[in-house]
């Protein structure tokens, strides 16, 4: 029985489908919105209560008939419900679509109940969540196996096996572990795929034995238990040491979702390949290979809510025969205005793709998104882009013209030219450290400057970008650190032998007495150098990123003279010893330089061992254990001077809205050096890793700061391993009147904290040390210290036996 | 890396202070006024003006210290100047008056100034001495941790004492109740830690709970570190004949001794902190008094010439 025909049938009432139907309703096109669930937007509806819905990417304008901005799940849903009612969107709940047949002008949409809806056009916006990935083993549909978890508090005192290592699996496991015994099954040996905060949470829970984890394991089969008195189910898991049977009350598998391929293919839509994650190919107007059948949202490969909503709007426009430019077009056009000759956005993107090899592997959509985050610059000749020792961390690609890298701060005539297609700034991006050279613009140059976060996102999602940047980094690091004066050709063999190695904190790069077969350039992180003295490993020095270790054994052809250990997560470029020795024998100058450097270093170290067999090295290990190794600037208090007056805290509170960002008393002390709870301004700030509004930034002077765009989600507070971020109510304290306070005890005492005086419901935002960037004269805590006990220093200043690079020496 | 306020900028203010003293003494030695040196000569006025200016500047330190937005240099530099130039004032003011003393407001100002300087000197002594002692005393343990450990030890003591019999239980209970960390004002020196102390007090009460309230003691037992309890347990121990009870007694003695050591450490921490601050309660009022006396001194000198 065919119902009356609509012009557009939209399948799926998620953000994409709803937006499409809303636009159709707005312009008076006959439409129907078919939704299986009894409410709109089932995926978001099933979010945990109160969960924050993000509106990424921030720079992309929203173009939809209905509103959407970041907010709680409840708020977002109520706005949509209200809009759908107001616009009289013709929605049919409980309409499970079985198959779509026909073609443009004559589609028949058959519902599960046997009803048929006809339409001229069909918009498929089902997303992926309707098709959760299952265990893929026998018993995957048994009643005790589930693929969703709505409310973790529903279960108590159960044994629950969680399968998966992604964010939802971790969130479920951690939430369930409060009242249940939880075992998590991870196919791999780490949780690196998850967000930083979740990774830390699960690793901590496993370490504290709150959750049991089976690594390198996979389910083999699920069985209903035969023993009626025991647990209802058994999950048999294959582990590294054989099969184990886990008795459990339930199995919760969170393995993500995949395109409902069978259904999509049954509509006549083709997939580009056999990858189960592949999405159907669509035209620039979102039309599939079936004429009149459009696909938008996650099913078309655009998982973000805002993108999906924009597409919903646009698809109706396309169906109605109106040409419409992409929503981000005006923003991009504005950006390209810096470049006069470029007329249209699409031609500009073509030029970028053609001229910049590192970006040529991007799809147009990726490039658009990348450009939305980036800035186009057309600096004048000689303009400084960044200076040596700046803390900026943006990445530059050269679209036209060139730049000069001034390799020697003392000699302006020494510079290396980079031209069209090259990029620079990758050193600071990767190592998290200061700029290692000044760069000035050349004649008629056009650059793309990209912020750290967008660049990292790109590096992590596009393999070709990562490969190109890594290769270039490798070549440049070797050249600048070992032999800037040699031609690139001379280093070819060494470069070919190089590979990147990763070490977790505490892992050994090489041990004292090992044969010396390689040299390590530290590209990220830092290491400590220790020697066995009197049967105990004693730390002699701390070496930061941008330097090398392990040259001694190669130069002297002897075993390793010391043990080198990663003090934090560290990446090195390992150069093969044989190739390196060959290089040295060919270029005696380099050998001579390295030798004299090594000699100084050895002499310095043995002097150190003689002078203070105990103190200094132990202090280095202590500070490294306190995370000073990854700091760029840390507050250290000399307790022989500290009179415990707390003026540092008071100064901090007074200059920062009445909330002190430092806790002087807390934190450990060693050899009278106290490391208070205060921001270390890490090289790779943990707090930055998962900031939804990207409000955590590194300022040009190195301080890690929180912008006003903070939404108060608390991720940074959770992610900071040093506990230096507090959530506080933003409030300006009343000014202090010193006289009336002193004479009559009236008003607020100088430096008195105001936190704790407001209602529990007040909105909190993250606060942390900003190094008093807005105060002339530097950090207030240090300036307010009456005895000189408090200083802020970089670890190199405090720790390093200087191991300069060749660059420094020349 | 760290630079003490005493050594600020390679002893800049020490050098300035010594310079001021040398200049003052030199001028004083060369100057031969007709009626002998006094505050009324040109040098007397000069030194007096310098002295008064210095006093105002030294007083301003109290304000600068609390101006956390100030761009006027580091407070440690200010303190350095405060210390050395304040000490130089001793010489400047003495030469200003030309050793003419009497029972009047002028000499009162002088005496007050001397008292301020001496109290300040004691302050420097505490600043040099107690920070190190504080850290040494804590031995890497936070005060909160010590307090919670004391609570743990108390709990264990009570358990063992209960096994040993009523008398021991009573004694230990009393000992715990009488553990004191000093008066309230001493506690204030601990800042936030005093809350921890209150919690502990409450907890001890709740442990004691249903137990019989201890009979009032005939005389106060000195509880500094709980020697009385130690002696009591040691006494009991000497009387024990069976090995099980003796073992209990030994354990109790160990626990009490560890607790005693911890209590002493907490008490010391309080005392050191207090010492670092208490001198100010002399230094500050004296400074204000000096300001008042100085004002009278200057006004009278100008009005009753």
The CATH code of the domain that includes A175 is 3.50.50.60
Q: Are residues A642 and A596 in the same domain?
A: no
- Whether residue A558 is found in the same domain as residue A655: no
Predicted model pTM: 0.73
Evaluate whether B290 touches B109 at the Cβ level (below 8 Å).
yes
| Residues A540, A615 within the same domain | yes
User: What pLDDT is stored for residue A809 in this prediction?
Assistant: 28
- Whether residue A669 and residue B3 make contact (CB cut-off 8 A), yes or no, is no
The partner residue sitting opposite B68, judged by closest CB among A639, A780, A797, is: A780
Q: Which of A666, A750, A788 sits opposite B76 (nearest CB)?
A: A788
Query: Considering chain B, what percentage of its residues have pLDDT values greater than 90?
Result: 45
Verify that A661 and A754 share a domain, yes or no: yes
Long-range CB contacts for residues A531-535, cutoff 8 Å, separation at least 24: A531/A561, A531/A562, A531/A563, A531/A605, A531/A609, A532/A563, A533/A609, A533/A613, A534/A613
- State the total domains in chain A: 5
Structure confidence at residue B191 as a pLDDT band (50, 70, 90): very low
Banded model confidence at residue B28, pLDDT cuts 50, 70, 90: very high
The closest alpha carbon to A678, from A651, A697, A699, A701, belongs to A651
**Looking at the domain assignment, is residue A467 inside a domain?**
no
Can you tell me the distance from the alpha carbon of A173 to that of A252, in angstroms, rounded to the nearest whole number?
9
Domain final position from A413, A445, A461: A461
List CB contacts (< 8 A) between A636 and chain B. 1-2
Position B208 pLDDT exceeds 80: no
Taking CB atoms and an 8 Å limit, are A646 and B74 in contact across chains? no
Residue A529 within any structural domain of the chain: yes
Distance CA A759, CA A744 (A): 29
A476 in a structural domain: no
Beta strand A181-185 with A211-214 is parallel
| Cα separation values, A787 from A647, A784, B76, Å | 10, 9, 5
Torsion of CA B3, B4, B10, B14, to 10 degrees: 170
CB contact under 8 A, B75 and A784: yes
Q: First vs last Cα of chain B: how many Å apart?
A: 54
In this prediction, residue B212 has a pLDDT band, given cuts at 50, 70 and 90, of: very low
Q: Compute the average pLDDT of residues B67-95.
A: 93
Owning domain of residue A456: 331-461
The two tokens of residue A163 are 């399968």
Per-residue pLDDT at A71: 81
Q: Between chain A and chain B, how many beta carbons pairs sit less than 8 Å apart? A: 102
Residue A55's pLDDT is: 79
Interval B17-30 mean pLDDT: 95
Strands of A287-445 (E only): list them. 293-295, 375-377, 384-386, 395-400, 402-406, 415-419, 423-424, 438-441
Does the beta carbon of B216 lie under 8 angstroms from any beta carbon of chain A?
no
- Do A434 and A530 belong together in one domain? no
Closest Cα of chain B to A663: distance in Å? 12
Residue B221 scores a pLDDT above 50: no
- Are the beta carbons of A700 and A390 closer than 8 angstroms? yes
Q: What share of chain A is helix, strand, coil (3-state, %, to 5)?
A: 30, 25, 45
Residue where a domain terminates, one of A253, A275, A290: A253
Q: What pLDDT score does B203 carry? A: 55
Q: Which bin fits A432, alpha (ψ -120 to 50), beta or left (φ > 0)?
A: left
Distance of residue B300 Cα from the nearest chain A Cα, in angstroms: 26
Residue A138 lies inside a defined structural domain of this protein: no
Residue A586 token pair? 């060919």
Say whether A751 and B75 touch across the interface (CB within 8 A).
Answer: no
In a domain, A805, yes or no: no
Residue whose pair of structure tokens reads 């610059």 in the numeric block: A377
* Mean pLDDT value across chain B: 83
Does residue A296 lie in a domain region?
A: yes
A360 & A455 share domain:
yes
Best interface-test mutation with A: which of B1, B79, B131 has the largest number of A CBs within 10 A? B131
Q: What's residue A28's pLDDT?
A: 94
Do A125 and A46 share a structural domain?
Answer: yes
Looking at residue B214, its pLDDT comes to 43
In this structure, are A664 and A786 located in the same domain? Answer: yes
Q: Which candidate from B2, B138, B276 shows the least CB-CB separation from A643?
A: B276
Q: Which residues of A776-796 are buried (b: 16+ CB within 10 A; e: fewer)?
A: eeebbbbbbbbbbbbbbbbbb
The alpha-carbon gap from B190 to the nearest alpha carbon of chain A, in Å, equals 10
In a domain, A370, yes or no: yes
pLDDT of residue B286: 96
Q: By the CB < 8 Å criterion, does B1 face chain A?
A: yes
Q: Which residue of B has its CA nearest to A780?
A: B68
Do A615 and A642 lie in one domain? The reply is: no
pLDDT below 70 — which residues of chain A? 1-4, 196, 228-229, 340-342, 605-617, 754-762, 799-810
Say yes or no for a CB contact (<8 Å) between A670 and B140: yes
Q: What is the predicted pLDDT for the residue at A810?
A: 26
Query: What is residue A84's predicted lDDT score, i.e. its pLDDT?
Result: 94
Q: With a CB-CB cutoff of 8 Å, which residues 119-148 of chain B face chain A?
A: 126-127, 130-132, 134-135, 138, 140, 142
How confident is the model at residue B218, as a pLDDT? Answer: 39
Let me know whether A369 and A448 are in one domain.
yes
The radius of gyration of chain B from alpha carbons, rounded to an integer in Å, stands at 29
Cross-chain CB nearest to A787 (options B68, B127, B192):
B127
The residue ranking higher by pLDDT, A671 or B192, is: A671
A741 in any annotated domain: yes
- Among residues A276, A292, A319, the one where a domain terminates is A319
Does B295 have pLDDT greater than 50?
A: yes
Judge whether B71 is closer than 8 Å to chain A, CB to CB. Answer: yes
Domain match, A200 and A60 both:
no
Cα A388 from Cα A351, distance rounded (Å): 31
**pLDDT at res. B211:** 46
User: Can you give the pLDDT at residue A613?
Assistant: 46
Same domain, A127 and A272: yes
């Amino acid at each position: 029985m065919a119902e009356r025909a609509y012009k557009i049938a939209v399948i799926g009432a998620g953000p994409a489908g709803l937006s499409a139907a809303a636009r159709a309703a707005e312009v008076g096109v006959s439409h129907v919105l078919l939704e299986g669930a009894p409410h709109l937007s089932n995926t978001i509806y099933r979010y945990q209560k109160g969960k924050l819905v993000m509106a990424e990417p921030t720079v992309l304008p929203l173009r939809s008939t209905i509103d959407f901005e970041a907010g709680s799940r409840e708020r977002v849903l109520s706005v949509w419900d209200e809009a759908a009612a107001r616009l009289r969107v013709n929605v049919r709940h409980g309409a499970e679509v079985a198959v779509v047949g026909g073609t443009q002008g004559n589609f028949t949409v058959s519902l599960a109940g046997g009803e048929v809806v006809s339409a001229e056009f069909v918009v498929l916006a089902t997303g992926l969540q309707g098709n959760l990935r299952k265990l893929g083993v026998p018993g995957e549909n048994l009643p005790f196996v589930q693929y969703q978890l709505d409310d973790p508090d529903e279960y108590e005192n159960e044994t629950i096996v969680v399968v998966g290592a992604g964010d939802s699996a971790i969130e479920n496991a951690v939430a369930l572990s409060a009242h249940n015994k939880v075992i998590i099954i991870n196919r791999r040996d780490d949780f690196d795929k998850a967000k930083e905060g979740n990774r830390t949470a699960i690793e901590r829970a496993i370490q504290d034995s709150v959750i049991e984890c089976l690594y390198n394991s996979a389910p083999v089969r699920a069985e209903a238990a035969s023993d009626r008195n025991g647990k209802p189910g058994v999950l048999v898991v294959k582990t590294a040491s054989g099969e184990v049977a886990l008795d459990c009350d339930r199995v919760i598998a969170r393995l993500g979702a995949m395109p409902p391929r069978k259904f999509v293919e049954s509509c006549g839509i083709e997939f580009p390949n056999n990858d189960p994650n592949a999405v159907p190919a669509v035209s620039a107007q979102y039309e599939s290979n079936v004429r009149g059948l459009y696909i938008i949202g996650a099913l078309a490969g655009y998982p973000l809510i805002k993108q999906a909503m924009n597409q919903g709007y646009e698809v109706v426009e396309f169906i109605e025969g109106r040409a419409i430019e992409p929503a981000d077009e005006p923003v991009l056009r504005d950006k390209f205005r810096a470049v006069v000759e470029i007329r249209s956005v699409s031609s500009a993107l073509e030029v970028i793709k053609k001229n910049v090899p590192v970006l040529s592997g991007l799809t147009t959509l990726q490039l658009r998104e990348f450009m939305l985050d980036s800035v186009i610059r057309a600096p004048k000749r000689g303009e400084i882009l960044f200076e040596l020792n700046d803390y900026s961390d943006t990445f530059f690609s050269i679209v036209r013209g060139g730049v000069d890298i001034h390799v020697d701060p003392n000699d302006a005539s020494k510079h290396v030219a980079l031209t069209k297609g090259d990029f620079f700034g990758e050193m600071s991006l990767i190592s998290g450290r200061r700029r290692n050279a000044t760069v000035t613009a050349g004649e008629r140059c056009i650059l793309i400057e990209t912020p750290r976060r967008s660049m990292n996102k790109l590096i992590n999602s596009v393999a070709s970008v990562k490969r190109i940047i890594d290769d270039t980094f490798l070549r440049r690091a070797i050249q600048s650190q070992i032999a800037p004066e040699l031609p690139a050709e001379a280093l070819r063999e060494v470069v070919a032998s190089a590979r990147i190695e990763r070490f977790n904190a505490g892992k050994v790069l090489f041990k004292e007495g090992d044969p010396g077969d390689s040299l390590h350039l530290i590209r990220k992180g830092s290491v400590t150098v220790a020697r066995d003295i009197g049967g105990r490993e004693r730390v002699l020095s701390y070496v930061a990123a941008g330097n090398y270790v392990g040259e001694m054994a190669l130069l002297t052809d002897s075993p390793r003279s010391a043990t080198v250990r990663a003090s934090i997560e560290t990446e090195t470029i390992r150069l093969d010893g044989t190739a390196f020795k060959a290089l040295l024998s060919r270029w005696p100058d380099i050998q001579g330089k390295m030798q004299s450097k090594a000699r100084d270093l050895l002499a310095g170290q043995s002097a150190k061992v003689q002078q203070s067999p105990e103190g200094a090295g132990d202090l280095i290990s202590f500070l490294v254990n306190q995370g000073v190794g990854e700091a760029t600037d840390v507050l250290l208090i000399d307790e022989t001077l500290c009179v415990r007056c707390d003026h540092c805290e008071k100064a901090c509170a007074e200059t920062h809205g009445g909330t002190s960002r430092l806790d002087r008393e807390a934190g450990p002390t060693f050899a009278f050096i106290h490391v208070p709870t205060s921001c270390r301004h890490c090289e790779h700030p943990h707090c930055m890793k998962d900031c939804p509004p990207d409000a955590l930034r590194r300022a040009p002077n190195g301080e890690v700061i929180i912008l006003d765009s903070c939404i108060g989600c608390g991720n940074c507070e959770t992610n900071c391993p040093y506990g230096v971020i507090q959530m506080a109510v933003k409030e300006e304290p009343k000014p202090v009147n010193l006289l009336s306070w002193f004479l009559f005890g009236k008003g607020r005492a100088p430096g008195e904290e105001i936190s704790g005086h407001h209602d529990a419901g007040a909105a909190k935002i993250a606060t942390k040390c900003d190094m008093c960037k807005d105060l002339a004269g530097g950090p207030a805590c240090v300036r307010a210290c009456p005895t000189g006990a408090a200083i802020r220093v970089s670890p190199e200043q405090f720790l390093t036996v200087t191991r300069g690079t060749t660059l420094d020496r020349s | 890396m760290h630079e003490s306020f005493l050594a600020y900028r390679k002893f800049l203010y020490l050098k300035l202070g010594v310079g001021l003293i040398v200049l003052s003494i030199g001028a004083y030695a060369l100057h031969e006024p007709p009626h002998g040196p006094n505050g009324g000569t040109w040098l007397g006025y000069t030194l007096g003006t310098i002295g008064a200016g210095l006093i105002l500047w030294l007083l301003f330190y109290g304000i600068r210290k609390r101006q956390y937005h100030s761009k006027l240099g580091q407070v440690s530099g200010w303190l350095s100047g405060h210390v050395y130039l304040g000490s130089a004032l001793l010489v400047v003011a003495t030469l200003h008056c030309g050793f003419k003393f009497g029972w009047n407001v002028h000499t009162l100002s002088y005496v007050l100034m001397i008292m301020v300087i001496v109290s300040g000197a004691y302050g420097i002594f505490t600043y040099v001495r107690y920070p190190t002692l504080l850290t040494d005393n804590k031995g890497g343990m936070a005060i909160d941790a010590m307090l919670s450990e004391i609570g743990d030890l108390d709990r264990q003591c009570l358990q063992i004492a209960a096994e040993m019999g009523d008398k021991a239980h009573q004694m230990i209970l009393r000992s715990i109740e009488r553990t004191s960390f000093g008066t309230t004002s001493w506690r204030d020196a601990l800042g936030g830690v005093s809350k921890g102390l209150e919690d502990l007090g409450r907890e001890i009460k709740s442990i004691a709970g249903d137990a019989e309230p201890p009979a009032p003691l005939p005389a106060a037992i000195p509880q500094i570190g709980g020697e009385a309890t130690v002696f009591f347990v040691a006494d009991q121990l000497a009387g024990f004949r069976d090995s099980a009870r003796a073992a209990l007694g030994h354990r109790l003695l160990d626990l009490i001794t560890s607790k005693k050591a911890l209590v002493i450490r907490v008490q010391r921490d309080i005392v050191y902190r207090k010492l670092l601050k208490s001198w100010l309660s002399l230094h500050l009022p004296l400074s204000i008094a000096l300001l008042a006396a100085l004002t009278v001194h200057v006004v009278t000198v100008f009005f009753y010439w």
